[in-house]
Amino acid sequence: ADAVDPAKLRIRTWHNGELVQDDTTEELLFPFARLVADLSQLLTLEEGDIILTGTPAGASVARPGDVVEVEVSTGDSSSGRLVTRVEEGTTAFADFGAQPKADDVQREEAYGSREAAGLAPVEAAAVGHVLAAELKAKLESVCTATLSSQLRKRGLNNVSIDGLSATRPDKRVVGVARTLRYVPNREDLFKTHGGGFNAQKQAIDSVNEGEILVMEARGEKGTGTIGDILALRAQIRGAAAIITDGGVRDFSAVAAMDMPTYYSNPHPAVLGRRHIPWDTDITIACGGTTVQPGDIIVADSDGILVIPPVLAEEVADDSIAQEREETFISEMVAQGHSVDGLYPLNAAWRTKYEQWEADKVND
């Protein structure tokens, strides 16, 4: 025992023959000596006592009949595998002391998903916002440059998500925002919020058809915020797009998907290098603007806009009218007319435009 370094023990766990945990005591928040010293201030530790310190990542649910094997090793030394077959208990718990407690959230986290835990799926459209097909068609018919002009006329200048690239710049995307917030990584908090069915996976697994998942990554470029498997899950669920002001890993696979992803940069590192997935469907910041669940997102090759739902209908209608005017103006410029008085339309040119419109209707 004197030759064993307590800080360099490796622990591995197999569940029904599958390796599910592989970690070392170097990752403990508090070393063994600290644990023993702290406990000794409160009670006397005696030979044969066991100190429970939690478990490495990878813990899941074992059922009666399952086989769990655990091995502790260091260098050439090994405890061998301790093999335990899980049996159904036959003795009821005593009516004193702390009783076992589990709610649906804990069951979902333990099993990894609501489906695996045998729970009913979360109701669709979790944030309760639906984009009418007619309004969506209107917004799809106009470009973000025009929409931006109309928003500016209404005093909204800070409604663009800036500084991102698109995997599919050829696509025009319209959808309702769902949101996900990452906070800076702090190792103790990552242990409680980073694993299992965390906020990132919950957001991906609840995004609905036509929705756009917008992520707040604080513009941090030093790690990925989405990878190929979770992006594929979002695409399978019908997400219109993913937007993150952080990095994307597995970039080639993500870029090959039909669903567009808007991102800051490719990066190979996993999420936990810089982030903790913290919460969903709240007001967030992304690319220099504020995004709320239910906001309408419109993206094309010019950029990404966030449109307040209460303004969307009138902004769409006025944008369609503006683009009709600009079509007329472009035709006149192509015919050799000066832009003086034409762009924007003065009274004389507006009369000609109205006649042009009437002729189009009669055609």
pLDDT digits (tens, 9 = 90+) for 75-124: 888 999 999 999 988 888 777 777 777 777 777 777 777 788 887 765 44
Does the pTM surpass 0.75? The reply is: no
The reply to whether 165 falls in a domain is yes
Do residues 77 and 220 share a domain? no
The answer for residues whose C-beta is within 8 angstroms of residue 7's C-beta and 6 or more apart is 25, 26, 31, 32
pLDDT digits (tens, 9 = 90+) for 191-230: 999 988 999 999 999 999 999 999 999 999 999 999 999 9
pLDDT digits (tens, 9 = 90+) for 310-334: 999 999 999 999 999 999 999 999 9
Indicate left, alpha or beta for 4 from its phi (over 0: left) and psi (-120 to 50: alpha).
beta
Given 293, 311, 329, the domain boundary residue is 311
What is the per-residue pLDDT for 124? 43
CATH assignment of the domain containing 34: 3.90.850.10
Lowest-confidence segment of 18-27, 113-122, 232-241, 343-352 by average pLDDT: 113-122
Q: Which of 131, 212, 320 is nearest to 226 (CA)?
A: 212
Lowest-confidence segment of 53-62, 164-173, 177-186 by average pLDDT: 53-62
Do residues 81 and 172 share a domain? no
Do residues 258 and 199 share a domain? yes
Lowest-confidence segment of 128-132, 194-198, 213-217, 275-279 by average pLDDT: 128-132
Backbone angles phi, psi at 77, to 5 degrees: -95, 145
Do residues 333 and 303 share a domain? no
* 3-class secondary-structure state, position 58: coil
User: Per the structure, how many domains does the chain have?
Assistant: 3
Do residues 345 and 199 share a domain? no
Mean pLDDT of 11-40: 89
Distance in angstroms (rounded) separating the CA atoms of residues 115 and 102: 17
Distance in angstroms (rounded) separating the CA atoms of residues 353 and 174: 30
The reply to whether 97 falls in a domain is no
pLDDT digits (tens, 9 = 90+) for 255-272: 999 999 999 999 999 999
Distance in angstroms (rounded) separating the CA atoms of residues 285 and 195: 24
Tokens 């074992």 -> residue:
62
Do residues 142 and 81 share a domain? no
Pull the structure tokens for residue 244: 């993150």
Do residues 193 and 298 share a domain? yes
If 0-12 CB within 10 Å is exposed, 13-18 middle and 19+ buried, where does residue 267 land? buried
The reply to whether 127 falls in a domain is no
Do residues 66 and 45 share a domain? yes
Indicate left, alpha or beta for 54 from its phi (over 0: left) and psi (-120 to 50: alpha).
left
Give the CA angle between residues 221, 222, 224 to the nearest 5°: 85
Given 89, 114, 149, the domain boundary residue is 89
Dihedral of CA atoms 167, 169, 171, 172 in degrees, nearest 10, equals 120
Between the CA of residue 91 and those of 87, 88, 100, 122, 205, what are the distances in Å? Answer: 12, 9, 14, 35, 39
The reply to whether 147 falls in a domain is yes
CATH assignment of the domain containing 282: 3.50.30.40
Average confidence score pLDDT of the chain: 91
Do residues 202 and 322 share a domain? no
Pull the structure tokens for residue 306: 């966030």
The reply to whether 232 falls in a domain is yes
Do residues 247 and 231 share a domain? yes
User: 347-362 and 309-334 helices cross at what angle (nearest 10)?
Assistant: 100
Domain limits at 242?
A: 133-311
Pull the structure tokens for residue 132: 């009418």
Do residues 293 and 340 share a domain? no
The reply to whether 21 falls in a domain is yes
What is the per-residue pLDDT for 69? 95
Asked whether the beta carbons of 73 and 5 are under 8 A apart, the reply is: no
Distance in angstroms (rounded) separating the CA atoms of residues 182 and 217: 5
pLDDT surpassing 70 at residue 127:
no
Do residues 141 and 68 share a domain? no
pLDDT surpassing 50 at residue 143:
yes
Strands (E) in the chain, as ranges, are 10-15, 18-24, 67-74, 77-78, 82-85, 160-161, 165-166, 173-184, 211-216, 241-244, 247-248, 261-263, 265-266, 275-280, 284-286, 289-291, 296-300, 303-307
Give me the sign of the Cα torsion angle 234, 236, 239, 242: positive
Q: Which of 123, 136, 176, 183 is nearest to 293 (CA)?
A: 176
The reply to whether 60 falls in a domain is yes
Q: Which helix (H) or strand (E) holds 93?
A: none
